[in-house]
Structure 1
C-alpha cells in the first residue's frame, strides 16, 4: 500500500433531485471552508548503512522555517501545513541530504514520506527523489534487504494482502527458497524444520507441536502480521540454532491515527463445502476451538494405572462405563467457510515529545475440509496395507493481539506486546481396504480432536543515551506458553475375511485396536536479552560495535495415557458373538461392560510421559566497519552454553535421564561490497547448530492416526554443527525493484533425520537418527520488476518471481539397512514462485495471478526394507481481484488452487513407485469485504 495517501473529492450529499441547487451551494461552501483546514507530513528515517533508525535527523520544508527532527524510533511529524505541494529536505551529519519533490498535503489528511539516508562515503552529497517513488511499502521493505548487514528476504503487509495470504504458511511459501511441509512447517533452502528458527518481535517462541521443533505458522492470521523477514545468513546478535533460515515475524504495532477496520469473507471449496460431512457429537465450545470437558478423562480415573491388580472387577466395570459412549459417527452438511477480523488502534500525544499508542485486533475463521485419500504402505516383501477413504476436518482458529507503546521522550520508548491464538482441528477419518497381515479386509474409523493455544507477552525497551554519544540500548523480557491437548482420540476397526466380500463386517475387540488416547503437552518459555550498539562520535566512517547477552529457558511437560477394551480372558464374550456385528455404541453399551464380557485396560507405557527443560545462555560481540570505500565488513562471534534435560521411563519402569550439555563458539563473517548505490555483492561464512527436540529424545512411542505409523524417540541423539557459505549479487534498479542471484553451500556434521523402521507388529515405526554428514548447495534467483519499460500503459503492472535449485547429499553409516547416500529429507530439488500484479492506486483496483510449484522431496526415509516415501510436485495457481468502491469500503474476490491437482506421495519399491498417499484437492472461491471507519 502506498505511503502517500491521496484523497478523493468530497462527496455530495442530498436527499432528492429537487434540492439540487441547494446541494451544489452547500458543496461549494463546504469546499471553501475545508480549504482552510490544515494537513500534516510524517514518516520514518532509516540509516542506509545498517538498516537501523536515525535519531535526530532533520526534516525541513524548503523555503520555510518549518521542520522537525526524528525521534527515538526514527519518526518525525510536521503539522499545521496548508494544503499544497511542498519540497522536503532530509539532512544529518555525515549523511547525504535528500530532497523530496512533489509532496502533496491535503486538507485534514496525513501524508506519509519515509526515506533511507546513505552515508557520504559515495561521491554524491545529496540526492533528489519524488514523493511518488517513496509511496510503495513493498519498496520500503526492499530497502531493508538492500541495507541489511546480512542476506535477508522479506514480505511486506502489502504483498501479503495482494497474495490473498490467510496465515503465516501462505506467506512463507511465496518467499524465496521456502517450502511448506504438512501444511504448516517451513523448509528453508531445502533443510527441514529443525534447521530453522522463528522469532516473534525478536523473541523466541514456544513449540506448537510435541513432535517438531518448528513453529506451526498456520496458527498466525496474516492480518496481524506487519512483515516477515527471513535471514539466510547468521550474525552473532541472532540465535545460532538455524542453518536454513531465521524467520522473524513482526506484528503490527500502532497506527499514526485512529483506525477501526472490519472485514469478513466467505469461501467455497469445490470438494469440501455444501457436501455430506462425517463427524460426531462434540462439545459445546468446539466453535471456539476449545473442548468443554466432553472429551475429558473420566474423573474416576486416578494416577494409578487402570487394570487388574490395582482395581477390583466391580471398580473396572464402573470405570469402563464412565467413558462417554460416543464412538459413532454421523453425517451432516458442511457449510460455507467463513472468517472475520476487526482492528482498532490510535495514538495520543501526551506532550511535545511524549506519545502513547495502541493496536488491538481480533480474528476468527472456521472451515471444513474433506480430503479423499488413498493410503498404502509397502515393504520389500509386498504391500502392508492398501486403504481408500476420507479425512473430514473442521478447523477453528481465532487470534487476539494487543500492543501498546509509550514514548517517554525522543530517546526512550517502552512497549508491551501480547498475542494469543487458539486453533483446533476436529478430525474424523474413515478408511476401507486390505490389511495383508491378517489377511483381512478392514473398515477403520478414527476420531481425533487436537486443540493448540499460544500466548506470548513481551516487554521491550529502546533507549538512546545523549550524554554518551552514539550508544543505543535495547532490552526484551518475554514469556510464552503453548499447549497441545488431544483428548479422547478414538480408533476402532471392523473386519471381514479378505477373500469373502459377501461376509459381514465384525468388530475387532482387541485392546490395541479399540483404543482411547489422551495426550497433553505444555511448553513454557522464559527469556530476556539486552543489547548495546556503540558508534563512537556518531561518525559514519568509524567502526560500530554491538554486544549483548541473552537467556532462554524452556520447560515442557508431556503426559499421555491410552486405554483399550478387550474381551475378558475366560469370559462369555467371544469374537464370534453376534453382538460384534452391531454398531460400535451398542457393543459398548453398559450391559456389555461387566466382569463377564468387556473390560477396560490401560495400555499406557512408562515411557509415554516425560518432563524436560532446556537452558541457553548466550553472549556475543560483533563489529561492522568499512576498511575501504564501499566495502562493509560485519564480523563477530556468539558463545552459547546449552543444556537439555529429559526425564522419562523405560518399558521396565527404569528411569531414563538424558542431559546433553554443550559449549559452542560460533563465528560469523558478512561482507557487502557496494559497486554503486544500486548494486551490492555479498559474501558470508558462519557456523551454526541444530539441537534435537525434546520429543525426539524421548523414548515414548504412540500411534499417529493420520499417517498410520508408530512414532518413537531416540535418547542417543546429539546436536548437529553446520558450516554455511553464501555469495549473493543483487541489483536495485528502481524503488521497489530487485534482481538477485545467490549461491549457497552447507556442510552438516551429524545431521538428524527422520526414518521409517520395520516392527514385529507389522506397523511401521517413525523414529530419528544422526547420520554421518551431509551437504546442501543451491542457486537462487529473485526478480521484482515494474513493467513500465514495455510501455507506459503497463505502469500499473509488476512481476514478482523467485526460483531455487537445490541439491543435497547425506551419508549414512554403513549399517546395511538403508541407502548409504541420498538427498536430505524434505529437500526439494527446485522451488518456483511467480506472480503478475496489477495495482492502480487512483482507481482502487488491484489484481494478481500467482503460481507455485515445489519439486520432488522425501517425506519419510525408509529403513530396513522400507522404501523412501516421496512427495511429488503439483502446480498451484491463485487469482485475486479487489476494488475500492468508496473511500472506506472495498471488496475482494479470490480463487485459490485453480488447477486443483491431486496431492500425491509414492513409496519406492523394487517393483517401481507405488502410490503411498493420494489426496484430492478442491478449488477455493472466496468473496470478502472490508470497511474502514
Structure 2
C-alpha cells in the first residue's frame, strides 16, 4: 500500500492551484405563473462565451469569473430580455442576483436585489466552493453557525462530517483521531496550544463572532504542515465589506446542574472577570506567608451571562481602492456543576485503589478582542489582524471516600479538596497580502507573531484522613498522611512565542479557447519558529509525625474540614506539626537552590519548501499533485522531580508527496481521489518527564518518544442536486508507522504516559453526508419576496482501527533514551487510543420570513459518538474507555425588526451520564452529568 501511494504521488507531474475568481448565482422566477421557478432560461455574460441555463428550480450559477464589471443578460423564449449592467465580480466572493421575468412588461429595478457576500459566508456559496474544488474540503460559514446557534469554534466543527468534541473540553476528534493528529491554523498561519497537555489550542475559547468561515481539510495538501493525519482546521477571521454598523448583544442563561445546587462554592482569590494571577510570596519556606485561604467560599448565584459589541465599515478611497475594518469585543462566563464518582488504579480483580464521591464546581470566562483592517488597491489586497483572548477556568473540587484501599482511609472517610485556577492569554498578530503581479502571476504571503501565556497560580490541594482508618465517620486529622505532596500549593507558567511565515507564487499558463488557464504551478515556503518554556514550583506541606526530639507526636483533630486555615498557619509551623518544602529540600537544606522550579522547554523549528499544481486534462478531469520537503528540529531539556536531562532532539527531513484527482461524472456529480504521506510529531508534554498530578491518575512524559509516519488515501463521490443540497459518500484508509498511544504504565500508582506502542496501525472508514431542502416556498407581498424553508442535514462516519502492540519495543526504546518505562499490554493488538468507531450528526431547520425585517428560524441538532479508548490497559487490566455520548440541542432565533433580534437555546437536552470505564473489569472509573444549558440572547443593531 505504501509503495502504491508513493508511486502514484510521484509519477503525477502536472502542477496548479485554483484561480482566484468570483461567481454569480441566483434564482429566476416566472411572473406570469405566480412567481414559480422559471426553468431553462438563458443567462449570459454579455461580450463573452460564458453562460448557463436555469435548472428545474430556477437556480443558476456562473463560476470562475475573473474580477471586474460585467453586463448580465437574461432571456427566455416569449419573454422580454433583461440586461443588468455594471455587475461587479469580486475575487473570492459570490454575487447573488434573483430576477423575476415576464412576457409583456419591462424589468422593475426595485424587484431585483443584487448582493455580494464572502464565498465562505453563506451555505450556498460554501457548497459551490466545495463542488468546484479538486481537493476534498468541507467548510462551515457564519450563516450556518448563526442558524444552528453555535457560539464557539469547537462546537462549530462538530456540525461537519466525521468530527466530534471531547466532553468537557474544546479538543476535537476527526474521523475518530484525537488531538495529536490535527492541526489548527488561523488564516492559514499556525496557532499555539493553550494547554501543555495538548497540541492544539482549545477551540472553545474562539467565539464565532470573529469567524467568517471554518475550513476543514481532511486530506493533505502541500500548503499545510506535514504534522497532519486527521484534519487541518483553519479559522478564517471575519473580513467585513458592507456598510457601517454597530451591534450590541447581551445574553443570560444557566446550567441545570449548577442552578440545582443549594449552595455554589468557589475559591478564594480569583475574580469575576478571569483576569487574575498570583505568584507565591517572598520567603515561602521560612514562615507561613501565604495569604490566600485554603477554604472554599460561597460563590454567586450561578447565572451565566454574556455581552458583546461589534461593528465595522468599508468605504472607497478612490476609484480603484477600498478600505474596510471590523472589530469585536466580547465577554461571557458560565457556571457548571458535576457530581459523580472518581476511581483510580482498578486492579485485575476489579477493585479500585481509591474510590471517591466527587463534587466539582466550575466557573469559566472568555474575553475576546479582535480587529482587522483590509485594504484593496485594484486587484491587490492587504490585511492586518490582531486577536487577544483571555480565558480562565476556576474549579472547586471535593472528593470523599477511600484514598488508598491498602493504606490511607482504607474503609472510607478520606477527604481531598483541590482549589484550582487556570488562565490563558493569547495575542495573535497577522499581516497578509495577495498581490496580482500579472493576469497569470500571483503572490500570496502572510507573517504572524503569536505569544501565549498559560498560568496556574496557587492551586491548593489538601488531604484529611480519619484518625482511625477503621472508623471512617470518626474524628479527622493529618495523623496518617505520609506523602508530602498530599497537601500542597502549586504554581506553573507556560510561555510560548512563535514566529511563522508563508509565501507562495502561482504561475498560470496554457489557455483554452474560452481564455481560461488550464494549468498552473505554485512554488512556496512556510516556516514556524517556536520557543517553549515551562516552569512549575510546588510547595509541599509535609506533615511531621515526630517532634524536634524525635518523639511521636499527636496531630491535632481537624474540627471542620472546610476550615483548613485553622490548621495551615504560622502557629502550627511553630508547634512543629508541619513544614513547607519543595522536592529539592527545605529552607535549611545546604548548598541547594530549593526554590529552583521544575522546568522543561526548548525550540521547535520547521522550514518547508513546496511545489504543487494542477492540470485540467479535459473539461471533466483535473489533477493536482505536489511535493513538500520539511526540515524538522524539536529539542527539549528538562529538570524535574523525576529526572533531568537533555537536550534531546528529534531531527529529521521529511519528503511529503500528495495528489488529488477530480472527475466530473456529470454537471452535478464529482468523483474525487486523494493520497498523501504525512507524519505525527509528539508534543513537549508527551516528551517531558514531568509529573502532572490529578485526582484519580497522574501522567508524565517519555523523552524517548518520536514521530509517527502516516500514509493516507481517500475516495469520495459527491452529488449536488441543487445549489443548496449535497449528497456524498466516501471511503478512506490510513497506515500509521510507530503509532503514539496513551498507556497505563506498570506501577503501583497506575500512572499514565505516552509510547510508540507498536510497529504499525491501520484505520479504514466510510463517511456519508446529506444536506437537503425539504421544501422552499416564496410568496410576494407589496414590497418583498418572502421565503419559507425547511432543511435537514445528516452525516455519519464509521471507522475501524487496529494496531499491533509490543512490550519489548517500548522497553527497548525507552531504556535506550535513558528513562525506561515498563509496559505489559493486556492485548497483543487493539484499537487506536482516542478513536471512535461511529460518529453521527443530524439537524432539522425551519425558517420563515414575515417581512423584510421580521423572521424566525429554529434548529434541532443531534450528535452521537461511540466508545473510544482513553488509555490502553496493561497487566491484564482493561482499557480505560470513554463511553458513547448522545447530545441534543434546540435553537430558536427571531428578528423582530431591522434593529432587534432574539435568541433562545437549550443545549444538551438529553443530559446523558458521561462515563469512563475500565472495560475488561467493567468498572466505572469516572461518571457525572453535564447538565442542560439554557440561554436567552438579545442583540440590537444600530
TM-score scaled to structure 2, two decimals?
Answer: 0.83
Q: Indicate the residue corresponding to 2:134 in structure 1.
A: 149
Instruction: Give the equivalent residue in structure 2 for 1:334.
Output: 301
Partners of 2:338 and 2:927 lie apart in 1 by 9
| Pairing partner for 2:926 from 908, 913, 917 | 917
Could you say which residue in structure 2 is the equivalent of 1:15? Answer: none
Structure 1 counterpart SS, 2:125? helix
2:538 corresponds to which residue? Answer: 562
- The Cα of 1:521 is off from its aligned counterpart by 0.1
What is the DSSP-based 3-state SS (H/G/I as helix, E as strand, rest coil) of the residue aligned with 2:617?
Answer: coil
1:299 aligns with 2:282: yes
Mapping of residues 85-124 of structure 1, within 5 Å: 106=110, 111-113=114-116
Question: Is 1:490 paired with 2:460?
Answer: yes
Q: 2:900 aligns with which of 863, 866, 889?
A: 889
Tell me the secondary structure at the aligned position of residue 282 of structure 2. coil
Aligned-pair Cα RMSD in Å: 3.2
Equivalent of 1:787, from 771, 774, 793?
774
Determine the C-alpha separation between the residues in 2 that align with 1:683 and 1:498: 65
Provide, for residues 348-407 of structure 1, a one-character-per-residue CA deviation record: whole Å limited to 9, x for no partner: 210001111000001111111010121112021532111112111000111011011111
Structure 2: give runs of 5+ residues left out of the alignment. Answer: 1-23, 28-49, 53-59, 75-81, 585-593, 780-785, 809-823
Deviations 1:561-593 (A, max 9, x none): 111112457426966332445531111122112
Residue number among 487, 505, 508 corresponding to 2:476 in the alignment: 505
Counterpart contact for 1:55–1:74, Cα < 8 Å:
no
Cα-to-partner distance string for 1:863-892 (whole Å, 9 max, x where unaligned)? 344421111112211111122111221111
**Contact map agreement 1:71 1:410 (CA 8 A) in 2:** no
Give the whole-Å Cα distance in 2 for the aligned partners of 1:493 and 1:457: 44
For residues 110 and 420 of structure 1, do their structure 2 counterparts lie closer, same or farther at Cα, with a shift above 3 Å needed?
A: farther
Shift in CA distance, 137/565, structure 1 to aligned 2, threshold 3 Å: same
Q: Are residues 1:449 and 2:421 paired?
A: yes
For residue 275 of structure 1, report the CA deviation from its aligned partner: 3.1
Deviation at residue 722 of structure 1 after TM alignment: 0.5
Aligned to 2:795: 802
Partner of 1:24: none
| Cross-structure match for 2:7 | none
Sort the Cα spacing of 1:765 and 1:596 in 2 relative to 1 into closer, same or farther, 3 A. Answer: same
SS in 2 for 1:389: strand
Counterpart residue number, 1:26: none
Secondary structure, in 3 states, of the residue corresponding to 1:403? strand
Q: Is the alpha carbon distance of 1:410 and 1:713 closer, same or farther for their aligned partners in structure 2, counting shifts above 3 Å? A: same
d(CA) in 2 for partners of 1:454, 1:395: 16
Which of 381, 392, 398 matches 2:367?
398
Matching residue of 2:433: 461
SS at match of 1:159: helix
> CA 1:51 to 1:439, structure 2 compared with 1: closer, same or farther past 3 Å?
farther
Q: Does 1:529 align with 2:502?
A: yes
1:238 aligns with 2:224: yes
TM-superposition CA deviations, 1:257-276 (whole Å, max 9, x none): 10111111111221112633
Q: Secondary structure at the match of 2:845?
A: strand
Secondary structure of the 1:223 match is helix
Q: 1:330 to 1:650 in 2, by over 3 A?
A: closer
**Is 1:428 aligned with 2:396?**
yes
Residue-pair matches, total: 829
- Contact residue 774 and residue 792 of structure 2 kept, 8 A: yes
- Structure 2 CA distance, aligned partners of 1:103 and 1:796? 27
The CA deviation at 1:281 is 4.7
Q: Tell me, in whole angstroms, the C-alpha distance in 2 between the residues paired with 1:574 and 1:783.
A: 73
Give the 3-state SS of the residue equivalent to 1:578 in structure 2: coil
- Aligned partners of 2:537 and 2:597 also within 8 Å: no
1:218 aligns with 2:204: yes
Cα distance in structure 2, aligned partners of 1:66 and 1:887: 29
Q: Which residue in 1 is equivalent to 2:525? A: 549
* Aligned mates of 1:146, 1:470 — CA distance in 2: 23
One of 180, 185, 190 as aligned partner of 1:199: 185
2:46 corresponds to: none
User: Equivalents in 2 of 1:640, 1:607: separation in Å?
Assistant: 34
| Contact 1:61/1:86 (8 A) holds in 2 | no
Q: Indicate which of 711, 714, 723 corresponds to 1:735.
A: 723
Q: Is the 8 A contact 2:313 2:324 kept in 1?
A: yes
Q: CA deviation at 1:104?
A: 7.9
C-alpha distance in 1 between matches for 2:776 and 2:902: 30
Structure 2 residue matching 1:711: 3-state secondary structure: coil
Q: Name the stretch that deviates more: 436-445 or 659-668.
A: 436-445
Correspondences of 1:350-749 after superposition (within 5 Å): 350-377=317-344, 378-381=346-349, 382-407=351-376, 409-435=377-403, 436-440=405-409, 441=412, 442-466=414-438, 469-496=439-466, 497-507=468-478, 510-536=483-509, 539-540=515-516, 542-568=518-544, 570-571=546-547, 576-581=554-559, 583-594=563-574, 596-603=576-583, 608-649=598-639, 654-705=644-695, 708-749=696-737
CA contact (8 A) 1:531 1:548 kept: yes
Q: Say yes or no: does 1:874 pair with 2:885.
A: yes
Query: Contact 1:4/1:112 (CA < 8 Å) preserved in 2?
Result: no
Matched, 1:765 2:755: no
Q: Which residue of 1 aligns with 2:43?
A: none
For residues 610 and 800 of structure 2, the distance between their equivalents in structure 1, rounded to whole angstroms, comes to 33
Distance 1:498 1:876 in 2: 42
The DSSP-based 3-state class of the residue aligned with 1:139 is helix
